[in-house]
Amino acid sequence: MLQMKNVSKVYRTDTVETHALREFSLTVGEGEFVSVTGPSGSGKTTFLNIAGLLEELTSGTYELDGRDISSLSDKERSRVRNEKIGFIFQSFNLIPELNIFDNVDVPLRYRGFSAAERKKRIVDSLELVGLASRLQHLPAQLSGGQQQRVAIARALAGEPRFLLADEPTGNLDSQMADSVLDLLAEINASGTTIIMVTHELALASRAKRNIFVRDGGVSDGSTESPDLHLAAVASA
């Protein structure tokens, strides 16, 4: 379970103080598929970065599987992030010089798995996303949708408990986007908790619950169903 209570994030320079999150409170239970929507600049990506331990919060508490994350050292945070959290980004973030097998292998090497264990995880995850026949292909030899599937396979190979997706279909056409969302739904059905930031209303409605973020906080009543507040996103 992921639980944030009264989390604030403030970015400071010599002359400017920007409040990205304000008293942000949210609980995501095990096995949920949650979409996070809201206007540009509302704090969605900041929330996701804090949830993924890529940024530190300024105040408040954040517990992941019952453990207070805010008190961990950088080394401990890196270990938790590597073992429990998978990331999917809009830009795929594949290494162009490496083939698909090696791209999926990169984060596994930091976990200390044997070569045999890494190979099994890589092949299994690429089979799951339908790309087991493309192990030796470079990213440039794949379509955008296929590259995003490789990124999903890379995240899944580590068997994360939480999958965090930041605009995972932002660079895809509608058909490819639907295909990626179908895959995410399958992954969620197998038990993986998914939190997805998106501007696409049709994609947000595919989640089981929608969180609407405005001005750095969760909007009142925005966590009841995928359909609530989606019209507000369109008009923002």
| Domains of the chain, start order | 2-91+161-235 (3.40.50.300)
What's the token pair of residue 217? Answer: 């906080």
Residues 6+ apart with CB under 8 A from 138: 96, 97, 98, 99, 100
The share of the chain scoring above pLDDT 90, in percent, equals: 75
> What span, in angstroms and rounded, lies between the C-alpha atoms of 36 and 52?
14
Q: What is the mean pLDDT of residues 117-141?
A: 95
Average pLDDT of the residues in 73-81: 92
CA 14 → CA 19, 59, 149, 172, distances in Å?
Answer: 15, 20, 42, 39
Rg of the chain in Å (alpha carbons)? 18
Average pLDDT for residues 157-173, to the nearest whole number? 92
d(C-alpha 153, C-alpha 158), whole Å: 9
**Tokens of residue 35, six digits:** 């979409």
User: In this predicted structure, what is the pLDDT of residue 234?
Assistant: 46
Contacts of 173 (CB under 8 A, 6+ apart): 144
Q: Are 211 and 218 in contact (CB under 8 A)?
A: yes
CB 184 within 8 A of CB 200: no
What is the rounded average pLDDT for all residues in the chain?
Answer: 90
Tens digits of residue pLDDT in 179-192: 899 999 999 999 99
Extract the tokens encoding 41. 């600049």
Cα gap 45→159, rounded to integer Å: 23
Indicate whether 111 pLDDT > 80: yes
- Residue 132: the pLDDT is 93
pLDDT exceeds cutoff 60 at 33:
yes
169/24 Cα distance (integer angstroms): 26
- Taking residues 36-58, report their average pLDDT: 94
Nearest to 4 by CA among 54, 40, 48, 42: 48
Beta bridge partners of 213: 218
71 token code pair:
């008190």
Average confidence (pLDDT) over 10-39:
94
Query: Is the pLDDT score of 233 beyond 60?
Result: no
Question: Is the pLDDT score of 115 beyond 60?
Answer: yes
Tell me what the mean pLDDT of segment 19-24 comes to.
95
What pLDDT score was predicted for residue 199?
86
- Higher-confidence position of 218 and 201: 218
Segment 204-230, tens digit of pLDDT: 999 999 999 999 999 754 544 445 444
* SS3 (DSSP) at 3: strand
- The DSSP bridge partners found for residue 217 are 214
pTM of the model: 0.88
User: With bands split at pLDDT 50, 70 and 90, how would you rate the model's confidence at 104?
Assistant: very high
pLDDT at 221: 47
- Do the Cβ atoms of 229 and 222 come closer than 8 Å? yes
